[in-house]
Amino acid sequence: MNTIGHIINGNEVTEGTRQQPVYNPATGEAEKQVLLASQETVEQAIASAQEAYPAWRNTPPIKRARVMFKFKELLEANAEKICQLIGEEHGKIPHDAMGELQRGIENVEYACGIPELLKGEHSRNVGPGIDSWSEFQPLGVVAGITPFNFPVMVPLWMFPMAIACGNTFVLKPSERDPSSTLYIAELLKEAGLPDGVFNVVNGDKEAVDTLLNDARIKAVSFVGSTPIAEYIYSTANANGKRCQALGGAKNHAIVMPDADMDNAVNQLLGAAFGSSGERCMALSVAVAVGDAAADALIAKMKDAMKGLKVGAYTDSSNDFGPVITAAHRDKVVGFIDSAEADGATVVVDGRNPQVAGHENGFFVGGTLIDGVTPQMNSYQQEIFGPVLQVVRVSSMDEAMALIDAHEYGNGTCIFTRDGEAARYFSDNIQVGMVGINVPLPVPVAYHSFGGWKRSLFGDLHAYGPDGVRFYTKRKTITQRWPSAGVREGVSFSMPTLK
């Protein structure tokens, strides 16, 4: 069985005895094992990054950008291999894995512009012979802790920009599907990145806590569930670190009576069931305004879902694959059971799908549930599976109040032909990312990604302009060169210019 280790100072490290299996979720079999880093191993990675930092910090931004340009080329040239690794360990169908990779590559493209992004501000003659300017300097050694659901894209949200800004990086990817991350680390070295600038350690809470408590780590970026995000944020802040921690979601789509129902159904199919619903931006609740709209939505969704195909990543004709583990499959099924027990109607039942040749895989089929109410546990919790719940309301105001009342505020969408309603919705809804007839309003790489309320802990969003701000600190310099022979007297007042 293949053993997956770590990358420290440009070399593979396979020391240690703690390990856990890495499953192929389509077969249910453990095909690899991953080493779990000890505190000592993580400290080695931090030390490697600390040693590499001074030289990398002083590397001209244009040279850092050239590494990113080459890295982008290598990601594109090796896309098929990367997507295969995602499929083997996460279960994503090739077209979905390729979409994940492309969104990650776009963040690398944005980082390629770092010479422009790091340009500061300059003001001449703010006082007599005095010039002032600001510049953006790297923080030092920074860390990223990333989730299983996007093993390539989410790391690419973090380390390309952090490294381009002049920091060195320690990444702790998900131990459930680590191989694609290690492979792109090899490509980054091939692109010309000096050893020690980027290090990868696989592990569990011991590795995470080491990163959070080590004084050499200056900032931590995290994506995962809200309870862990809150823990990461509070611990990092207690240790004086900058932190952005992106948490969970319960994304609602309002379906207005005037919506193009056929378009709404097509969009909801992909947004609810794509990637097996294991997306923090998955649309898991459709809020239908009026019974007529709800009945039409249910009827059309039920008919459209007859064609959904769930299966292994090896068949690219499948729409989505398995969920990540047997335990997670059981959790998703448990939410379906609880909704039914609470009085909701399971219109399309995805429990126990039969996938020929993969009977032991961790599959859940597309599931549609009607009659869900806000009091139900399945509504309150993030299911993170291929389950779409329908809540019926009588007005748009009631729908918006429902969304605003939820503890999460990651993403939302409205399906309507009414421009006034769309504008009112986008102006007033208390959610960080909003779509108008766009069900997955994930910002492009030159904007920034982040939710509101308990979907984000920290002031800055991920990637884009906020990514530059997160991975740098501003320094403002005020300078004067007095003329020869000119000396000023002592002043004890605040300097002013009248």
pLDDT tens-digit profile, the chain (498 residues): 799 999 999 999 998 889 999 999 999 999 999 999 999 999 999 999 999 999 999 999 999 999 999 999 999 999 999 999 999 999 999 999 999 999 999 999 999 999 999 999 999 999 888 999 999 999 999 999 999 999 999 999 999 999 999 999 999 999 999 999 999 999 999 999 999 999 999 999 999 999 999 999 999 999 999 999 999 999 999 999 999 999 999 999 999 999 999 999 999 999 999 999 999 999 999 999 999 999 999 999 999 999 999 999 999 999 999 999 999 999 999 999 999 999 999 999 999 999 999 999 999 999 999 999 999 999 999 999 999 999 999 999 999 999 999 999 999 999 999 999 999 999 999 999 999 999 999 999 999 999 999 999 999 999 999 999 999 999 999 999 877 766 677 777 777 777
The predicted structure's pLDDT at residue 497: 73
Q: How far is it, in rounded angstroms, from Cα 141 to Cα 219?
A: 8
Buried b (16+ CB within 10 A) or exposed e, 310-323: bbbbeeeebbbbbb
Q: How far is it, in rounded angstroms, from Cα 218 to Cα 212?
A: 9
Token pair belonging to 411: 């993403």
Q: How far is it, in rounded angstroms, from Cα 469 to Cα 21?
A: 38
Token pair belonging to 75: 């990601």
The predicted structure's pLDDT at residue 493: 76
Do residues 74 and 190 make contact, with C-beta atoms less than 8 angstroms apart? yes
Do residues 426 and 436 make contact, with C-beta atoms less than 8 angstroms apart? yes
Q: Which residues contact 190 (CB under 8 A, 6 or more apart)?
A: 70, 74
Q: How far is it, in rounded angstroms, from Cα 209 to Cα 217?
A: 11
CA 478 from centre of chain: 39
Q: State the first-to-last Cα distance of the chain, in angstroms, to the nearest integer.
A: 76
Cα-Cα-Cα-Cα dihedral sign, residues 34, 38, 44, 50: positive
The predicted structure's pLDDT at residue 221: 98
The predicted structure's pLDDT at residue 486: 65
Nearest to 26 by CA among 177, 223, 178: 177
Q: How far is it, in rounded angstroms, from Cα 324 to Cα 338?
A: 21
| Residue 391 to residues 199, 348, 368, 406, 430, Cα–Cα distance (Å) | 46, 15, 11, 14, 19
Q: How far is it, in rounded angstroms, from Cα 297 to Cα 49?
A: 53
Q: How far is it, in rounded angstroms, from Cα 164 to Cα 181?
A: 18
Q: How far is it, in rounded angstroms, from Cα 307 to Cα 31?
A: 31
Q: Quick one: residue 485, left, alpha or beta (phi over 0 = left, psi -120 to 50 = alpha)? A: left
SS3 state of residue 49 = helix
- Whose tokens are 């947004």? That residue is 271
SS3 state of residue 372 = coil
In sequence order, the β-bridge partners of residue 289 are 393
The predicted structure's pLDDT at residue 491: 76
Do residues 305 and 319 make contact, with C-beta atoms less than 8 angstroms apart? no
- Whose tokens are 């240690």? That residue is 16
| Residue 359 to residues 25, 85, 275, 364, 408, Cα–Cα distance (Å) | 11, 21, 20, 12, 35
- Whose tokens are 């991350």? That residue is 181
Token pair belonging to 269: 């199919």
Cα-Cα-Cα-Cα dihedral sign, residues 58, 62, 64, 67: negative
Structural domains in the chain plus CATH codes: 2-247+455-477 (3.40.605.10), 251-436 (3.40.309.10)
Q: Is 413 a catalytic residue?
A: no
SS3 state of residue 3 = strand
Count the Cβ atoms, other than its own, within 10 Å of residue 182: 20
Helix or strand holding residue 90 (H, E): none
Nearest to 348 by CA among 259, 253, 268, 264: 268
The predicted structure's pLDDT at residue 485: 64
Q: How far is it, in rounded angstroms, from Cα 184 to Cα 153?
A: 11
Do residues 266 and 304 make contact, with C-beta atoms less than 8 angstroms apart? yes
